[in-house]
Amino acid sequence: MLIPASIQACEPGVLYYFPDNVVMADSDLDQPQFLAVKVAAEVGMEVLDLRDAFESVPGCLLAETHELVARTVVGYLARR
């Protein structure tokens, strides 16, 4: 299961701890998941990437992410 970093799920301005001098346009936010999926495929592991679930929620609702993850995982397992 790939859980997005807060910066992948929220706008930098919402994250009080995110440095103001970092420009996210200079970063490839897909790279961590891309590399993890690549490695998992090489060893035959299935991957559940939760970024789509997080993107379905407007804004940055960090307090609600446990419920979101639970619903997503239950749905994923039910389809298996």
Bigger pLDDT: 46 vs 10: 46
Q: Which residue has the tokens 């939760």?
A: 50
Domain count across the chain: 1
pLDDT for residue 24 is more than 80: no
pLDDT-based confidence at 70, cuts 50/70/90?
confident
Convert the pLDDT of each residue in 30-60 to its tens digit: 888 999 999 999 999 999 888 877 776 666 6
Domain encompassing residue 71: 6-78
Bigger pLDDT: 4 vs 62: 4
Instruction: With respect to residue 74, please indicate whether it lies within any of the assigned structural domains.
Output: yes
Instruction: With respect to residue 24, please indicate whether it lies within any of the assigned structural domains.
Output: yes
Distance, in Å, from the CA atom of 11 to the CA atom of 15, rounded to the nearest integer, reads 7
Instruction: With respect to residue 41, please indicate whether it lies within any of the assigned structural domains.
Output: yes
What does each C-alpha distance from 30 to 35, 42, 43 come to in angstroms? Answer: 9, 18, 20
Question: What is the value of pTM for the model shown?
Answer: 0.65
